[in-house]
């Protein structure tokens, strides 16, 4: 390469870097979600490993500016934190808790007992005694380590099928319904100061809601503590179930439970084959029809997303006496799991901040809604 060519190459590279920087420059915002809704409910987000380690300064600044609650997206799940029978890995979980404490945030542990993302040694368990020993060891070790630090635990995650029946997980197969009682009893002993939640998707839908109500009643009748229920909130702008959500918030609150919206995102893409739920194990092959907005979201769809978020937060504000927290499942669109689920490689736009951490119309719409609500 000649000197002239080399200089030209460097100039072009510098221009490209400058263009990339300015194309992703954050627009200044005087509004903060956590401050806007501070009298109503906590505003949370899920953190991945890079965010816990503060690798991206712009994203880190956004998290601290906008959110006062954090949930461990994956690093407290069993396959990460308890990879072998006698081995625990607390490195990222410790960093997550330290991040929350340093920034005075409400800290959510996610999750103690879940049928998915289990390490091989749990999947291989065949006996009742062994699964009991695992649950005892896992919950006692993990929850007790963070007792007084983690404010809330999703004790059991996704124990129900869509019709409200029990999911045939390894825990249910070996212990039956008793595993739910055991999990909450163990969690209450290990972390007596933490709030204890049951967390699931689609439990705003009537049949699954009925199953969740029976699950809660079973715990309450056994004299066990359950403080709240987490409605995951993986919804779509083309089919937002507002009536069912409101009915569920009211019904769960009547049982003496706090209601948290725990994993909120609003998908904007076509729903493949009328898929229901948010089972991470479901995968489908894609095509261009299922990934229509590769480069950017059309204004018409962006407006529809903003409309949906405004309607949703109008409902949340109406029932702010019942709702303890609203947690978004990701910081910005680029961090969303919906980019790869249920079809790998799709480009989705389900959150309030774009891939450059810039607030979208949906952000401004709900902040303005709160300002109107406060007048």
Find the domain containing 106 and state its range. 30-275+284-374
168 in a structural domain = yes
pLDDT for 342 equals 73
Calculate mean pLDDT across residues 288-306: 90
**pLDDT per position as a tens digit, 108-146:** 999 999 999 999 999 999 999 999 999 999 999 999 999
Given 158, 168, 185, 285, the catalytic residue: 158
Would 294 be classed as within a structural domain? yes
From the candidates 73, 195, 204, 263, which is the catalytic residue?
263
153-201 confidence digits (pLDDT tens): 999 999 999 999 999 999 999 999 999 999 999 999 999 999 999 999 9
Q: What are phi and psi of 71, to 5 degrees?
A: -120, 140
What mean pLDDT is reported for the chain? Answer: 90
Q: Is residue 25 part of a domain?
A: no
Alpha-carbon torsion, ordered 351, 353, 354, 360, to 10 deg: 100
User: Does residue 265 contact residue 329 with C-beta atoms inside 8 Å?
Assistant: yes
Domain count, the chain: 1
pLDDT given for residue 63 in this prediction: 98
The answer to whether residue 220 sits within a structural domain is yes
Question: What percent of the chain has a predicted confidence (pLDDT) above 90?
Answer: 82
Distance CA(16)–CA(292), nearest Å, equals 27
Q: Is 247 a catalytic residue?
A: no
**Alpha-carbon torsion angle 234, 240, 242, 246, nearest 10:** -10
In this predicted structure, what is the pLDDT of residue 272?
A: 60
Tell me, yes or no, if 263 is annotated catalytic: yes
Taken in order 201, 204, 208, 214, the sign of the CA dihedral is positive
- pLDDT confidence band for 27 (50 / 70 / 90): low
pLDDT at 278 exceeding the cut of 90: no
Per-residue pLDDT, 25: 62
What's the pLDDT band for 5 if we cut at 50, 70, 90?
Answer: very low
Mean pLDDT value of segment 30-41? 96
Query: What is the arithmetic mean of pLDDT over 232-249?
Result: 97
In the predicted model, is pLDDT for residue 327 greater than 80? Answer: yes
- Does residue 9 form part of some domain? no
139 located within any domain: yes
Asked if the structure places residue 63 within a domain, the reply is yes
What's the number of CA atoms in the CB half-sphere (13 Å) around residue 95? 14
pLDDT over threshold 80, residue 22: no
275 has a pLDDT exceeding 70:
no
pLDDT for 78-95, tens place per residue?
A: 999 999 999 999 999 999
Residue 249 lies in a domain: yes
User: Do residues 298 and 267 lie in contact, with contact meaning Cβ atoms separated by under 8 Å?
Assistant: no
CA 341 – CA 275 distance, rounded (Å)? 11
- Whether residue 26 has pLDDT greater than 60: no
Across 99-115, average pLDDT:
98
**Residue 198 is encoded by which pair of tokens?**
């049951």
In this predicted structure, the answer to whether residue 308 has a pLDDT above a threshold of 60 is yes
Question: What band does 374 get if pLDDT is binned at 50, 70 and 90?
Answer: confident
Mean pLDDT over 235-254 rounds to 97
Q: What is the CATH number of the domain that holds 111?
A: 3.20.20.80
């Amino acid at each position: 390469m000649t000197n002239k060519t080399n200089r030209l190459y460097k100039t072009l590279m510098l221009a490209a870097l400058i263009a990339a920087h300015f194309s992703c420059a954050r627009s200044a915002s005087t509004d903060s979600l956590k401050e806007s809704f501070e009298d109503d409910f906590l505003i949370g987000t899920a953190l991945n490993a890079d965010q816990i380690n503060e690798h991206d300064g712009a994203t880190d600044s956004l998290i601290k500016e906008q959110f006062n609650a954090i949930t461990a997206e994956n690093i407290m799940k069993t396959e990460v934190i308890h990879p072998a029978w006698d081995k625990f890995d607390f490195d990222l979980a410790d960093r997550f808790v330290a991040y929350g404490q340093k920034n005075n945030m409400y800290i959510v542990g996610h999750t103690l007992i879940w049928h998915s993302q289990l390490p091989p040694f749990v999947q291989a368990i065949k006996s009742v005694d062994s699964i009991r020993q695992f649950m005892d060891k896992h919950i006692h070790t993990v929850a007790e380590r963070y007792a007084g630090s983690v404010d809330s635990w999703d004790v059991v995650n996704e124990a129900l099928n869509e019709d409200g029946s029990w999911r045939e997980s390894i825990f249910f197969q070996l212990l039956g319904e008793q595993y739910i009682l055991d999990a909450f009893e163990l969690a209450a002993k290990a972390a007596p100061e933490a709030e204890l939640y049951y967390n699931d998707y689609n439990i705003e839908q009537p049949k699954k809601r009925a199953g969740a109500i029976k699950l809660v009643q079973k715990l309450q009748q056994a004299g066990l503590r359950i403080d709240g229920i987490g409605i995951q909130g993986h919804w779509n702008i083309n089919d937002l179930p507002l009536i069912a959500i409101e009915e569920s918030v009211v019904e769960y609150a009547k049982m003496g439970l706090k209601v948290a919206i725990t994993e909120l995102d609003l998908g904007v893409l076509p729903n493949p084959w009328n898929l229901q739920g948010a089972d991470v194990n479901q995968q489908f092959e894609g095509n261009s029809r299922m990934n229509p907005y590769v480069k950017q979201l059309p204004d018409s769809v962006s407006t529809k997303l903003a409309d949906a978020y405004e309607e949703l937060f109008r409902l949340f504000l109406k029932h702010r006496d019942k709702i303890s927290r609203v947690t978004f499942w990701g910081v910005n669109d680029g961090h969303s799991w919906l980019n790869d689920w249920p079809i790998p490689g799709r480009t989705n736009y389900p959150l309030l901040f774009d891939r450059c951490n810039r607030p979208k119309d949906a952000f401004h719409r709900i902040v303005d809604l709160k300002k109107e609500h406060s007048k």
